[in-house]
Chain A
Amino acid sequence: MSGRGRYLAGKAAWAVVVVFVVITFNFFLFRVLPGDPAKAGAKDPRLSQASIAALTERFGLDKPTFLNLEPGASPFDSQYFAYLGALSRGDLGMSYAYRDEQVSDLLGEALVNTIWLILPAQLLSIVTGTILGLVAAWRRGTVLDVVSLTFSLFMWSLPTFFLAILLLVFGSSYLDLPTAGRSTIGAEYASLWDELYDVGRHLLMPTLAFTLVLLGEYMLIMRSSVLDVFSEDYILTAKAKGLSTFRIIRDHALRNAMLPMVTLIALNLAFTVSGAIQVEQVFSWPGLGDLTVNAISERDYPVLQGAFVLIAVAVVVANFLADMVYGWLDPRVTQT
Chain B
Amino acid sequence: MPEPVAVVRDVSVAFQGSRSLLDALRLRPAPPIRAVDGVSFSVLPGEVLAIVGESGSGKTTTANLLLGLLPASEGSVALEGRELGRLSRRELARMRRSVQMIFQDPYESLNPRMRVGDIVAEPLRVHRLLRSASEIRARVREALEEAGLTPVDAYLRRLPFELSGGQRQRVAIAAALAMRPRLLVADEPVSMLDVSIRAEVLNLLRALADEHDIAVVMITHDLSTVAAYADRIAVMYLGRIVETGDARTVLTDPQHPYTRALRSVVPIPDPSARRRPVILAGETPDPSRIPSGCRFHPRCPVAFDRCRTVDPPLFDLGGGHEAACLLVGPDAPGTAPADGGAPEAIRES
Interface residues of B in 1-33 (CB under 8 A from A): 20-22
A1-12 interface code vs B (CB 8 A; 1 in, 0 out)? 100001001100
- Separation in Å of the B26 CB from the closest CB of chain A? 12
Which residues of A are found within 8 Å of B20, using beta-carbon distances?
6
Which residues of A are found within 8 Å of B22, using beta-carbon distances?
1, 6, 9-10
Q: What's the Cα separation between A10 and B24 when bound, in Å?
A: 12
Interface residues of A in 1-33 (CB under 8 A from B): 1, 6, 9-10
- In the complex, which residue of chain A has the Cβ closest to the Cβ of B21? A10
- Separation in Å of the A300 CB from the closest CB of chain B? 41
Q: What's the Cα separation between A304 and B20 when bound, in Å?
A: 39
- In the complex, which residue of chain A has the Cβ closest to the Cβ of B25? A13
Q: What's the Cα separation between A208 and B22 when bound, in Å?
A: 44
Which residues of B are found within 8 Å of A9, using beta-carbon distances?
22
- In the complex, which residue of chain A has the Cβ closest to the Cβ of B20? A6
B297-331 interface code vs A (CB 8 A; 1 in, 0 out)? 00000000000000000000000000000000000
Interface residues of B in 72-131 (CB under 8 A from A): none
How many A residues have CB within 8 A of the partner chain? 4
B17-55 interface code vs A (CB 8 A; 1 in, 0 out)? 000111000000000000000000000000000000000
Q: What's the Cα separation between A201 and B21 when bound, in Å?
A: 51
- Separation in Å of the A177 CB from the closest CB of chain B? 52
Q: What's the Cα separation between A1 and B21 when bound, in Å?
A: 13
Q: What's the Cα separation between A6 and B20 when bound, in Å?
A: 9
Which residues of B are found within 8 Å of A10, using beta-carbon distances?
21-22
- Separation in Å of the A80 CB from the closest CB of chain B? 25
Q: What's the Cα separation between A9 and B21 when bound, in Å?
A: 11
- Separation in Å of the A125 CB from the closest CB of chain B? 34
- In the complex, which residue of chain A has the Cβ closest to the Cβ of B23? A6
Which residues of A are found within 8 Å of B21, using beta-carbon distances?
10
Q: What's the Cα separation between A1 and B22 when bound, in Å?
A: 11
- Separation in Å of the A14 CB from the closest CB of chain B? 9
Q: What's the Cα separation between A80 and B21 when bound, in Å?
A: 30
- Separation in Å of the B160 CB from the closest CB of chain A? 25
- Separation in Å of the A10 CB from the closest CB of chain B? 6
- Separation in Å of the B114 CB from the closest CB of chain A? 29
Which residues of B are found within 8 Å of A6, using beta-carbon distances?
20, 22
- Separation in Å of the B162 CB from the closest CB of chain A? 27
- Separation in Å of the B22 CB from the closest CB of chain A? 6
- Separation in Å of the A292 CB from the closest CB of chain B? 35
- Separation in Å of the B221 CB from the closest CB of chain A? 24
- Separation in Å of the B31 CB from the closest CB of chain A? 16
Q: What's the Cα separation between A10 and B20 when bound, in Å?
A: 10
Interface residues of A in 159-217 (CB under 8 A from B): none
Q: What's the Cα separation between A10 and B23 when bound, in Å?
A: 11
- Separation in Å of the A307 CB from the closest CB of chain B? 33
- Separation in Å of the A246 CB from the closest CB of chain B? 39
Q: What's the Cα separation between A10 and B25 when bound, in Å?
A: 11
Which residues of B are found within 8 Å of A1, using beta-carbon distances?
22
Q: What's the Cα separation between A6 and B26 when bound, in Å?
A: 13
Q: What's the Cα separation between A6 and B25 when bound, in Å?
A: 13
- Separation in Å of the B138 CB from the closest CB of chain A? 48
Q: What's the Cα separation between A147 and B20 when bound, in Å?
A: 47
Q: What's the Cα separation between A24 and B266 when bound, in Å?
A: 66
Q: What's the Cα separation between A10 and B19 when bound, in Å?
A: 14
Interface residues of A in 115-140 (CB under 8 A from B): none
- In the complex, which residue of chain B has the Cβ closest to the Cβ of A9? B22
- Separation in Å of the A18 CB from the closest CB of chain B? 15
- Separation in Å of the B25 CB from the closest CB of chain A? 8
- Separation in Å of the B112 CB from the closest CB of chain A? 22
Q: What's the Cα separation between A69 and B22 when bound, in Å?
A: 35
- Separation in Å of the B81 CB from the closest CB of chain A? 46
- Separation in Å of the A9 CB from the closest CB of chain B? 7
- Separation in Å of the A304 CB from the closest CB of chain B? 35
Q: What's the Cα separation between A236 and B172 when bound, in Å?
A: 36
- Separation in Å of the B61 CB from the closest CB of chain A? 23
Q: What's the Cα separation between A9 and B26 when bound, in Å?
A: 14
Q: What's the Cα separation between A6 and B21 when bound, in Å?
A: 9
- In the complex, which residue of chain B has the Cβ closest to the Cβ of A14? B21
Q: What's the Cα separation between A10 and B21 when bound, in Å?
A: 8
Q: What's the Cα separation between A10 and B22 when bound, in Å?
A: 7
CB-defined A-B contacts under 8 Å, sample of 6: A1-B22, A6-B20, A6-B22, A9-B22, A10-B21, A10-B22
Question: Which B residues form the contact surface with A (CB < 8 A)?
Answer: 20-22
Which 3 interchain pairs have the tightest Cβ spacing? A10-B21, A6-B22, A6-B20
